[in-house]
Amino acid sequence: MAFTLSERIQKNPKSSPPMLLFYGEGGSGKTSLLSQFQNPIVTLVNETAPHDLDFDTPGPISSFEDILQVGTALYEQPHDYKTWGIDSLTGLQPLLFDEVCRRGDDKGQVFKSIEGFPYGRGYQYAERVLHELIECCHALRRDRGMTIVFIGHSKIVRFDEPGSSSYDRFELDLHARLSAPLFRACDGVFLIKRSVTLRREDIGFNNSRNIAEGGNALFIYSEGRPGHIAKNRFNLPAQIRFDRGKGYEALAPYLYPNLATTEE
C-alpha cells in the first residue's frame, strides 16, 4: 500500500500532565514537596506523613490490590483531585512481591516468596504486575488530567561502567526489574540531596584525610550524572535549589506546559 502523507500525517496530541518520581534519603522533604502539588490525594504505603502536612489520603493500604483499587476509583468516580501521589515506591515493593506470590506463575503455581520462583522469574512477573499500575497512571493522566507523583528512597550502589573504573552512585531503592520500567515511564526522575563538598586536611607524616562540609542546602537534581540517576523532559537546569515550602514553586515554571491541562 502506498504511503499518502495527506492521509497518514496527524497533529501531535496535546501533552498529558506529567508522571514524576522524586527520590532521596529520609527527611529530605520529598513528601512535603508532594503535598505542594495541585490538590493532591496521597496513597501512603508503609510510610507515615509528617504531622504538619495537610493532604487527603484514601486510608491504610495493606496490599497491591488496594493501590489498584484506589487508582480505579480515581478513574471511574467523580472527584476534584489533580494529583495522585504514591509514597513510597520502596514501601510498595514488598506488597507487589506478595501479589506476585499470590498470583503465582503462568501455570498457577503459587510461591511463598519472590525468591521461590525458579530461575529468578518472580522478578519478571513482578515487572509485569507493576505495569498494571503504570498503565493505570497513564489512564489517569490521559483521561482524568491528573499528575502522578511517585516518592522513593535512595540507596548508594556500586556501578560497573564498561570500559571505565567502578564508582558509587545514588539510585532508587528498588529492585532493578522494577526501577527500570518506572524510569522509562516517568517524564522526570529527580534526586533530592544535600550539597556536600570535601576539604582535604593534612594530618602529618605525609598523610591527609577528606572532611565533608556543607550539607545544609538541599538541591533537586534533574539530569543524570555518574554519581546519580535522573532525567527530565522539561528543559530543567541540572540542579535547582530546594528551599522547604518552595519546591513546587521552583519546578512549576518548567512543568507548566504539561500541567496546563490540569488547570483548565
Q: Which pLDDT belongs to residue 217?
A: 85
Q: What pLDDT was estimated at residue 163?
A: 64
Domain containing 159 equals 17-263
**pLDDT at position 162:** 73
Q: Is residue 7 part of a domain?
A: no
Backbone angles phi, psi at 118, to 5 degrees: -65, 150
CB 260 within 8 Å of CB 202 = no
Query: How is residue 164 annotated by DSSP?
Result: S
Q: CATH no. for residue 207?
A: 3.40.50.300
Residue 5 counted as domain residue: no
How many domains are contained in the chain? 1
Q: What was the pLDDT predicted at 206?
A: 56
Is residue 187 in some structural domain? yes
Residue 8, domain member (yes or no)? no
Question: Strands (DSSP E) along 105-243, which ranges?
Answer: 147-159, 167-172, 188-204, 207-221, 231-232, 239-241
Decide if 4 is inside a domain.
no
| Single-letter code of the amino acid located at 212 | A
User: Alpha-carbon distance 17 to 250, whole Å?
Assistant: 17
236 in a domain, yes or no?
A: yes
pLDDT tens digits along 112-159: 999 999 998 999 999 999 999 999 999 999 999 999 999 999 999 988
- Using alpha carbons, select from 227, 116, 124, 137 the residue that is nearest to residue 185: 137
Distance CA 56, CA 213 (A): 38
Question: Taking the mean position of all CA atoms in its chain, how far away is CA 158?
Answer: 21
Cβ contact 16:186 at 8 Å: no
Structure confidence at residue 261 (pLDDT): 40
Within-domain flag for 9: no
Which ranges constitute the DSSP H helices of the chain?
Answer: 5-8, 30-35, 64-76, 89-103, 121-144, 176-185, 247-259
Examine residue 12 and state whether it is found in any structural domain, yes or no: no
Q: At 117, give phi and psi (nearest 5°).
A: -70, 135
pLDDT tens track of the chain, all 264 residues? 566 766 666 665 567 899 999 999 988 899 999 999 999 999 999 888 778 888 999 988 999 999 999 999 999 999 999 999 999 999 999 999 999 999 999 988 999 999 999 998 999 999 999 999 999 999 999 999 999 999 999 999 988 777 666 788 999 999 999 999 999 999 999 999 987 554 455 555 555 554 444 457 899 999 999 999 999 999 999 999 999 889 999 999 999 664 444 444
